[in-house]
Amino acid sequence: MPVSNVNIARLFNRLADLLEIDGANPFRVRAYRNAAQTIRSHSRSMGEMVAQEEDLSELPGIGKEIAAKIKTIVEHGRLPQLERIETRVPAELSDMMQIEGLGPKRVKVLYRDLKIRSIEDLRRAAQTHRIRDLPGFGEKTEKTILRRVQTWTGQAPRTLLAEAEDIAEPMLRYLKDCKGVKRVIIAGSYRRRKETIGDLDILATAKTGSDVVQRFTRYEDVGEVVSSGKTRSTVHLKSGLQVDLRVVPDASYGAALHYFTGSKSHNIALRTMAQKRKMKINEYGVYKSNKKIAGRTETDIYKLFGLAYIDPELRENRGEIEAARDKRLPKLVSVKDIRGDLHMHTTATDGRNSLRDMAEAAAQRGYEYIAITDHSRHLTVANGLDAKRLMKQVEAIDRLNGELRNITILTAIELDILERGTLDLPDSVLKELDLTICSIHSSFRLSRKKQTERVLRAMDNPYFNIFAHPTGRLINKREAYDIDLERVVAGAKERGCYLEVNAEPERLDLNDDACRMAKHMGVKVAISTDAHSVSSLDHMRFGVDQARRGWLEASDVINTRPLNTLRRLFKRI
DNA sequence: GCCGTTTTCGGCCCGACTGTTTTCAGTCG
């Protein structure tokens, strides 16, 4: 199996860690980290690019040397330079840097003076008070290290965006209620609408002397106050989620919001532009020879560099700055562009609400149409529909359509794609429906080739319209099945099929990069909720967020079309 | 190690907080 971009990025990050501990040139270290970031977020696999002999050094932050190293990793699965340094610097030291408060310098001292090389060694040394006497350490640091090591769970978990909203909203209200506070907003990856967030970044503007930081540290859900100063503070909530608060004067709102929204690489790119113009950007404003020339709004800042306003979802240094300069930024799709939801379940299979409930709830949300897509017979655990039950549902939908004034229900089904690439119901049944969505619910472990061909074969069926949750991943729970998404997208293009952006918070499948790839290859998507209850219809916004991160415009999304146009899109024969 | 409408050499984002120091290094975002 080819090495994934994520795994290549991990190797470079590990190399960067070990080089840093070894005291290498910090800029060289950063170069490896930048390259790792580029590789991780690149929409095409390094493996394929190497196979097609493309020039990797054209990617940002990747030059001749790193390009050659990527090639070696792809072809041999190894990075010899990493293996060489591991003979001098134990690889586990890289894990120790995951402990908050431990960076390369301290890890180096711990290893050099006490031969500590694992988190377990670290715990024992802290318990037996051997750390406090090391140079640059003390009693307090030792206690902090012990506490962090004891609560260490391995991988730092990332919180689903939807869960983060539930935590953030009440906290926001609590902080707004503070005297002297003017504005409070959540910045960081939350504002960029990433599918998961590592921490919450809250920005407040307040008069000097406001006690907003104190109020923040006294929030009832705070488990530990990590730091707390005049203008910033970090806490851990009882759940373990880290929350950072930064306070700036209101006149710096735009600069601070921009700064704390990131991403880091977007900010660095912009700051480099500033440097070339002999200007300086920080969280308080843009400065030219110590004179503040912008900072009240984000728009002002972009304007200063000849750039159009860049939506937060695009700020990943993936070409948005160039696009803003050349006035070719996309006008991103928004929730109000969505005219209907094309994936939902009812009590006929595994949904919690009836057909009528779902239709009425959708109408209340202002939709013009919905598609009812209960499961097909193969999915027995969900009580999937056979031909007879499906036809009964179609009749029920016809009756309801006769009754409901303000919404049209499309007859549809979520069809299982069987292992050999056949669809779970015969064409004679499918031809009676307005559309189908097709998906994989079994045989996740097929080889990449077999899985890909399974889907392409299924798409050969002229009643195949939308490929639902195309990679099958469940965030933090289940990896995507191994599939060549590029071939699938190309296959959809040839055959007139569409891909779904599933808005369920733990699916968000297609993800942002894949959305972008689909757009580049000329394939349109449907953004749908996969709702199993009335309340889940509100997840639409998370799907839209993901599509926005993938640069999609309303014209890239089929369920922004009026009903008549939409119906035509599903006629393949 | 990467990069280039100042450059193929000499730069590389920048400020806050903590703890250990006694003026600052290390870490973080």
CA of A136 to C1' of B25 (A): 8
**Which two three-digit tokens encode residue A151?**
């609560």
Q: What are the beta bridge partners of residue A416?
A: A439
- CA distances from residue A242 to A100, A169, A225, A453 in whole angstroms, order as listed: 11, 15, 10, 43
Are A293 and A307 members of one domain?
yes
Nucleotide nearest to A101 (CA to C1'): B27
**Which two three-digit tokens encode residue A60?**
């940002």
Return the CATH number at A21.
1.10.150.110
Grade residue A272 by pLDDT with cuts at 50, 70 and 90.
confident
- pLDDT tens track for A314-363: 998 888 888 888 889 999 999 999 999 999 999 999 999 999 999 999 99
User: 3-state class of A137 per DSSP?
Assistant: coil
Nucleotide nearest to A105 (CA to C1'): B26
Flag whether A45 is in a domain. Answer: yes
Return the CATH number at A261.
3.30.210.10
Are A364 and A394 members of one domain?
yes
Rg (CA), chain A: 26
Going by C-alpha positions, the residue among A158, A141, A40, A159 that lies closest to residue A100 is A141
State which of A196, A223, A247 marks the end of a domain. A247
Are A18 and A85 members of one domain?
yes
Are A237 and A257 members of one domain?
no
Distance, CA of A158 to chain centre: 10
Flag whether A330 is in a domain. Answer: no
3-state SS of A498-551 is EEEEECCCCCCECCHHHHHHHHHCCCCEEEECCECCCHHHHHHHHHHHHHHHCC
In this predicted structure, the answer to whether residue A453 has a pLDDT above a threshold of 90 is: yes
Residue type, A46: M
Flag whether A369 is in a domain. Answer: yes
Nucleotide nearest to A279 (CA to C1'): B13
Among the residue ranges A119-128, A154-163, A351-360, the one predicted with the least confidence is A154-163
Query: Is the distance from CB of A354 to CB of A397 less than 8 angstroms?
Result: no
For B12, nearest residue by CA–C1' is: A27
Query: Is the distance from CB of A370 to CB of A409 less than 8 angstroms?
Result: yes
Return the CATH number at A499.
3.20.20.140
Flag whether A289 is in a domain. Answer: yes
CA of A192 to C1' of B7 (A): 35
Close Cβ partners of A315 (under 8 Å, ≥ 6 residues apart) = A192, A261, A262, A263, A266
State which of A306, A325, A344 marks the end of a domain. A325
Model confidence, pTM:
0.87
Are A449 and A531 members of one domain?
yes
- pLDDT tens track for A58-111: 888 899 999 999 999 999 999 999 999 999 999 999 999 988 889 999 999 999
Q: What's the domain count of chain A? A: 4
Higher pLDDT, A485 or A273: A485
Nucleotide nearest to A67 (CA to C1'): B1
**Which two three-digit tokens encode residue A232?**
């910033």
For B21, nearest residue by CA–C1' is: A136
- CA distances from residue A144 to A140, A209, A277 in whole angstroms, order as listed: 6, 30, 43
**Which two three-digit tokens encode residue A188?**
């960081």
CA of A284 to C1' of B13 (A): 14
Nucleotide nearest to A278 (CA to C1'): B6
State which of A305, A325, A345 marks the end of a domain. A325
pLDDT score recorded for residue A225: 93
CA of A158 to C1' of B13 (A): 26
Query: Is the distance from CB of A245 to CB of A233 less than 8 angstroms?
Result: yes
* Continuous segment of H or E residues that includes residue A45: none
pLDDT score recorded for residue A156: 64
Flag whether A63 is in a domain. Answer: yes
CA of A65 to C1' of B9 (A): 18
Residue type, A427: D
Using CB atoms within 10 A of its CB, is residue A360 exposed (0-12), middle (13-18) or buried (19+)?
Answer: middle
Return the CATH number at A209.
3.30.460.10
Query: Is the distance from CB of A126 to CB of A96 less than 8 angstroms?
Result: no
Interatomic CA distance for residues A199 and A44, integer angstroms? 28
Query: Is the distance from CB of A312 to CB of A192 less than 8 angstroms?
Result: yes
First to last CA, chain A: 38
pLDDT score recorded for residue A286: 85
Are A97 and A42 members of one domain?
yes
Are A340 and A471 members of one domain?
yes
- pLDDT tens track for A161-197: 999 999 999 999 999 998 889 999 999 999 999 999 9
CA of A105 to C1' of B25 (A): 10
Instruction: Give me the domain span that covers residue A26.
Output: 5-151
Nucleotide nearest to A231 (CA to C1'): B16
CA of A385 to C1' of B19 (A): 65
- Mean pLDDT value across chain A: 92
CA of A389 to C1' of B13 (A): 63
Where on strand B do bases come within 7 A of a protein Cβ? Answer: 1-3, 6-7, 11-21, 25-29
Are A456 and A510 members of one domain?
yes
Are A391 and A296 members of one domain?
no
Are A372 and A476 members of one domain?
yes
Nucleotide nearest to A287 (CA to C1'): B14
Are A32 and A132 members of one domain?
yes
Are A240 and A257 members of one domain?
no
